[in-house]
Structure 1
Amino acid sequence: MYIHFSDASRTVIGGGTAGLAIASRLSAVAKVAVIEAGGFYEQDNGNLSTVPGYAQNIPFLDTTPSYPLNSLMDWDYLSVPQTQAGNRVIHYAQGKTLGGSSAINTLAYHRATVGAYGKWADLVGDTSYTWANVLPYFKKSATLTAPNFAKRNTPNATFTYDTTAFDNSLKGPLQVSWAQWQDPTITWLAQGIRSLGLAMSSIGFNSGILAGFSAYVTTSVDPRNATRSSSRTSYMDTVGVPAGLKVYHHTTARKILFNGSTASGVSVVTDSTTYTLMAKKEVILSAGVFGSPHLLLVSGIGPAATLKSLGITVVSNLAGVGQNLWDQLYFQVINIVSTPSGPAEAAANPALVEKQYREQAWGPLSSISAYISFEKIPASLRGAFSSATATALSWFPADWPEVEYVAGAVASGGATLGVMSSCLTAPLSRGSVTISSSDPSVLPVIDLGWFTNPADGEVAVAGLKRAREAWSNISSIVVGDEIAPGAAVQSDADILAYIKNSATQIWHAGATCAMGKKGDGKAVVDSSARVFGVSSLRVVDASAFPFQVPGHPQGTVYMLAEKIADAIIKGK
């Protein structure tokens, strides 16, 4: 049975990070329909998605093919074997819920660099993407709560920050704050990071400067009750659901429909009922880094040869759809430490920790108290890079960091494990997303492309050496021998083998529907996020980035949603 709805001006596919943000803004001026395959994460994932301290314990964030299933919350994406990374098949969780991956991420919020947004502007031929021009949209999206140093109660973890990076008078929906409880182990690991010459930033990581500095990262946590601030709690609950916004949850988009080359609606299914949601003006695709290219392909937009081989009518021959996948990888140096930690305290005294959280919005459950830093690999290690690697890295702006270091602590068998992670923030390997069937219910074919460019291996080896150097400068807290990689792993070849067999994603894939200039073979959308070769169709999510920005992309996703919403409202 087909039922047609035609009262929506715009139909948004995906109620995730970008989808709810842009739908909320547009619904203030027009009728908007949102199609979301999932439901409410409070029901489907409980405290794991609402209590910050549980964010790292969500079971289905397991990256192995044997991950615990939660198909109410996750799309169950699996990669093809990664031939240059131990031939491993990788489970890549993506949020299937109102709020999308903003309901399952580890809450880090910061912005990329001035140079990164300048590069974005150059690649897409639009100066509105320079730092000065995107900053107002960052400010419009979020409200900052000042650090509560009394609650943090950690004299060696105080800091200053740029108070002009946010504008709370705009009442941005997303709540951004610093941890109100500080993990003692992380304060020690922070000393190790700073010993590398990465001084604590005096302005924080929301003012366009990352490389060469370290900081306690801001997070998308509402400090009033110490709960996750997702796109649903912010753009739906805080802004409210205007009369013009209609959300179709537990409803899956199957195909974008066209009248000629004009997007006219979306074929969807709820339970066993298939019907069409029409869009009088526009369809906005916000299905994520894997979901957005998948839907374009099954709808007839993508490489013509691929579409024709599957019997799909070509609506727009765009070779870039599903290509250009950037993914940041991270790998760890782990030691047992003698310092107390939040995870260990939560395991040893669960009743006390829950009481602290419930009554004071404080304690280990109230936050993820991460300390992060960014750098270009220093000259002492850079000299070992091949000329090909040095040339490839020269593409990145001078202020674009190549590696991020993340300090963390976990509990294991009654002990505290200190974890110093290195993450590639300027990856040179590229993956892809394609399809094997015209049936929209068949999941896409995902090749993450890990380490297919040897340059990533060279940078990764240097990054792990830097993490070990940080550990060597805080050796007084280390108990026993190094847990991972282990003392036997010393040569560059052994370090690289360890990394290739253990590295995982930090959940920052992007750029599979890349923004660019018309005629660019990789470009899928223009600088207003409009899909080339058709009309009335845009892609607004991390897949539309021209590249993955350095560091954590959550803030940039919200910025893009705000920016494109503003352009649509202004008739652009």
Structure 2
Amino acid sequence: MRPFTSQLARIALAAIAVSTNTAYGALYNDASQLPNLKYDFVVIGAGAAGNVIAARLTENPKFSVLLIEAGISDQDVLGIEVPFLAPANLPNSSVTWNYTTTPQTSLNNRALAYSRGRVLGGSTSINLMTYTRGSDDEYDRWAELTGDDSWAWKNLEPFYLKSSRLVPPVDHHSTKGLVDPAVHGFGPVEVSLPGLPTELDGRVVNTSKALGAEFPFNIDIQSGDSVGVGIAQSTIGGGIRSSSSRAYLQPNVNRRNLHVLIENTVTRLVRSGPSHGVPVFKQVEFAPGPSAKRTIVTADKEVILSAGSIGTPQILMLSGIGDSLELKRLGIKPIVNLPDVGQNLQDHPIMSNYWVVNSNNTFDDVLRNTSILNADLAQWNTSKTGLFGNAPANAVALLRIPDDASIFKRVRDPAAGRRSAHFEMIFADGFAATVIPQPATGHFVTINTAVVSPTSVGSVRLASADPFAFPLIDPNFFSTSFDQFAMLSAVKAARAFMAAPPWRGFVVSRFGPVGTAETDEEIIAAARDAIVTIWHPTSTARMSPKHAPWGVVDPQLLVKGASGLRIVDASVMPIIPSAHTSGPTYILAERAAEFIKETWC
């Protein structure tokens, strides 16, 4: 979802300008301040995965870790801390990599804003906070694709339990019957239900229970079966965003064996010599800016690359790891020929569907009236409660296309299994502006529809050998018949849901170009102008069986054809899960931390 209004953006950006680092201990922004230039481990990227790795490795006091982040501190950044202000960080702000895609052929050649987090916490500091771990089937498919049972759910469940925990909603209202505490863990990432129930919540649950099989009620989508309708769970604790920085980094940053360097961009990995005929990458070059002096730091044991599905392949290619022919064309000396680097990019396309509603209680007036907005912000500052202590989404539905649908006569079902969805509906009690701006008057409900088992595949490529130049990002959205059918199915499902009896007298009419489209052809045409990214890129350095000629890393996440280098982030996912990707990334990173400990302890 895009920024709701420029007013929210102004609040968040003003707060960014006065952010401080007061909560952090060993935090540096100048390489000359670092006590050392040699560590046991150098971790690149302080996002969902990097912060997990840094925190878990430094549990061992014998390990020294340097964590390098290109962005600023997240401390006291209001647009990060306040859940409702999350859309103000997107698509472009001073805490994001402000990327743009290449023109998307299947979206009428539109180039989309494609932001990633450039701040402590990475994209977990800027996302919309919806939390879904994915079904058990997702991970069993990873195990099948990699030929390694380590990735099967029965072996990953302990790492899920170790990564997150359920906490009460900020207003402490009863959530009985809306969540199952038994399927949650004991980890540092806080997950909660909304602390300000809206006029949508009861209608969503009642509609699900009334319509039955097409929209099954699911008390908790973290149960292993993610299909169904329920109240949204978000990475929020006590009315504050629970990012990887807040959960993993801040509680541990004062450890003597952890140093964190911010505002420095990794420019390449440096080959530090061969080992048994294999190139070793245990040195990392970085700089605060294009014209600044570059510094090299050394890892005695491993470099762990956690720069995300865009940054990781870019750094690999800049370091001579990738398609040799493409690297030569850019004047980069090839060292390891891995043609899969930067390939297989997948993401979830999403678009907004709007309804005019008969209500004065949606959040629309908050976005139009400065006095109301300031009052809500004051309430959050005082007690962390109210609208601003909650994410914009209140309910979700993860649903499957019927087995007898015509599309399955032409294409194989791309979902991981029957417990995984094809599309998602995300409910917001107001006008969530994406492509078209919020109307000056009226009250609305938004259902964002997303394809969560996409078959479209894109790429990340270097634009040049300049490490400070943005790469060429092509998600290739909406390019397959399945993705188009799935989005069409999602729109029809959303309309059927809103036509159910619990919405009578509340819903007035559909709104906007997607809303006025009637035929299948008209809906697909409107979608080409409405689809944006949900910001879930994965699989650009995917893992594969150890001896497979394809892929970038083996099932232990070690880079093939290299030594001393491991990748831990969403780029290694062999295929995108039908889930919001922060949850699976936390699980993956917890698993990887154990791999590393097993190697070096």
TM over 0.5: yes
Residue deviations 1:7-63, cap 9 Å, x none? 3101011111111111111122210111111111345xx3111101111233xx23x
- Could you say if the C-alpha distance between residues 141 and 151 of structure 1 is closer, same or farther in structure 2, counting changes exceeding 3 Å? closer
Residues 1:371 and 2:395 aligned together: yes
How far has the Cα of 1:110 moved from its partner? Answer: 2.0
Residue deviations 1:229-273, cap 9 Å, x none? 111111122344311111110111000011231112111103522
- Could you say if the C-alpha distance between residues 167 and 394 of structure 1 is closer, same or farther in structure 2, counting changes exceeding 3 Å? closer
Distance in 2, matches of 1:330 and 1:193, equals 22
Opposite residue 470 of structure 2, the aligned amino acid is L
Distance in 2, matches of 1:173 and 1:252, equals 28
How far has the Cα of 1:120 moved from its partner? Answer: 0.5
Opposite residue 288 of structure 2, the aligned amino acid is T
Distance in 2, matches of 1:341 and 1:554, equals 31
Residue deviations 1:317-369, cap 9 Å, x none? 11111111111111232111123445236345234423432333221111125
- Could you say if the C-alpha distance between residues 434 and 280 of structure 1 is closer, same or farther in structure 2, counting changes exceeding 3 Å? same
Distance in 2, matches of 1:420 and 1:146, equals 25
Residues 1:34 and 2:67 aligned together: yes
- Could you say if the C-alpha distance between residues 448 and 196 of structure 1 is closer, same or farther in structure 2, counting changes exceeding 3 Å? farther
Residue deviations 1:188-239, cap 9 Å, x none? 345445555323223x12121112x11112211112xx11111111112234
Residue 353 of structure 1 is aligned with which of 364, 372, 376? Answer: 376
Aligned to 2:426: 406
Opposite residue 362 of structure 1, the aligned amino acid is T
Residue 118 of structure 1 is aligned with which of 126, 137, 140? Answer: 140
Distance in 2, matches of 1:12 and 1:83, equals 36
- Could you say if the C-alpha distance between residues 218 and 441 of structure 1 is closer, same or farther in structure 2, counting changes exceeding 3 Å? same
Q: What is the SS of the residue equivalent to 1:206?
A: coil
Two-structure CA RMSD over aligned residues (Å):
2.3
The list of structure 1 runs, each at least 4 consecutive aligned residues, that deviate by more than 6 angstroms after superposition, is 1-4
How far has the Cα of 1:374 moved from its partner? Answer: 1.2
Is the CA contact (8 Å cut-off) linking 1:193 and 1:373 kept in structure 2? no
Opposite residue 402 of structure 2, the aligned amino acid is P
Residues 1:456 and 2:483 aligned together: yes
Is the CA contact (8 Å cut-off) linking 2:415 and 2:453 kept in structure 1? no
Distance in 1, matches of 2:534 and 2:468, equals 26
Aligned to 2:216: 199
Residue 469 of structure 2 is aligned with which of 437, 442, 458? Answer: 442
Residue 312 of structure 1 is aligned with which of 332, 339, 350? Answer: 332
Residues 1:106 and 2:124 aligned together: no
Aligned to 2:118: 96
- Could you say if the C-alpha distance between residues 98 and 307 of structure 1 is closer, same or farther in structure 2, counting changes exceeding 3 Å? same
Distance in 2, matches of 1:262 and 1:116, equals 33
Q: What is the SS of the residue equivalent to 1:38?
A: coil
Residue deviations 1:273-329, cap 9 Å, x none? 211011111111111111000110110111111112222222211111111111111
**Contiguous gaps of at least 5 residues in structure 1:** 63-68
How far has the Cα of 1:185 moved from its partner? Answer: 3.4
Aligned length: 545
How far has the Cα of 1:464 moved from its partner? Answer: 1.0
Is the CA contact (8 Å cut-off) linking 1:185 and 1:339 kept in structure 2? no
Opposite residue 50 of structure 1, the aligned amino acid is E
Aligned to 2:21: none
- Could you say if the C-alpha distance between residues 86 and 42 of structure 1 is closer, same or farther in structure 2, counting changes exceeding 3 Å? farther
Q: What is the SS of the residue equivalent to 2:591?
A: helix
Is the CA contact (8 Å cut-off) linking 1:28 and 1:244 kept in structure 2? no
Is the CA contact (8 Å cut-off) linking 1:540 and 1:561 kept in structure 2? yes
Distance in 2, matches of 1:219 and 1:191, equals 21
Aligned to 2:575: 547
Q: What is the SS of the residue equivalent to 1:9?
A: strand
Aligned to 2:416: 396
Is the CA contact (8 Å cut-off) linking 1:342 and 1:364 kept in structure 2? no
Aligned to 1:145: 167
How far has the Cα of 1:147 moved from its partner? Answer: 4.8
Residues 1:229 and 2:242 aligned together: yes
Distance in 1, matches of 2:325 and 2:358, equals 59
Residues 1:159 and 2:177 aligned together: yes
Q: What is the SS of the residue equivalent to 1:199?
A: coil
How far has the Cα of 1:376 moved from its partner? Answer: 1.2
Is the CA contact (8 Å cut-off) linking 2:169 and 2:237 kept in structure 1? no
How far has the Cα of 1:97 moved from its partner? Answer: 0.5
How far has the Cα of 1:550 moved from its partner? Answer: 0.7
Opposite residue 250 of structure 1, the aligned amino acid is E
Aligned to 1:289: 309
Q: What is the SS of the residue equivalent to 2:190?
A: strand
Is the CA contact (8 Å cut-off) linking 2:552 and 2:560 kept in structure 1? yes
Residue deviations 1:431-465, cap 9 Å, x none? 00111322212211111111222221122112211
Residue deviations 1:486-534, cap 9 Å, x none? 33x1111111111122111111111111011134354111111100000
- Could you say if the C-alpha distance between residues 83 and 216 of structure 1 is closer, same or farther in structure 2, counting changes exceeding 3 Å? same
Q: 1:267-278 counterparts in 2 under 5 A?
A: 267-271=285-289, 272-278=292-298
How far has the Cα of 1:395 moved from its partner? Answer: 6.4
- Could you say if the C-alpha distance between residues 341 and 54 of structure 1 is closer, same or farther in structure 2, counting changes exceeding 3 Å? farther
Distance in 1, matches of 2:83 and 2:572, equals 28
Is the CA contact (8 Å cut-off) linking 2:513 and 2:526 kept in structure 1? no
Residues 1:131 and 2:153 aligned together: yes
**Contiguous gaps of at least 5 residues in structure 2:** 1-29, 432-437
How far has the Cα of 1:79 moved from its partner? Answer: 1.0
Distance in 1, matches of 2:493 and 2:521, equals 16
Opposite residue 188 of structure 1, the aligned amino acid is R
Is the CA contact (8 Å cut-off) linking 2:37 and 2:297 kept in structure 1? yes
Q: What is the SS of the residue equivalent to 2:396?
A: strand
Distance in 1, matches of 2:515 and 2:134, equals 33
Distance in 2, matches of 1:50 and 1:15, equals 17
Distance in 1, matches of 2:585 and 2:491, equals 29
Aligned to 1:300: 320
Opposite residue 442 of structure 2, the aligned amino acid is A
Distance in 2, matches of 1:56 and 1:152, equals 26
- Could you say if the C-alpha distance between residues 130 and 123 of structure 1 is closer, same or farther in structure 2, counting changes exceeding 3 Å? same
Distance in 1, matches of 2:288 and 2:514, equals 48
Is the CA contact (8 Å cut-off) linking 1:346 and 1:364 kept in structure 2? no
How far has the Cα of 1:115 moved from its partner? Answer: 1.0
Q: TM-score, normalised by structure 2?
A: 0.86
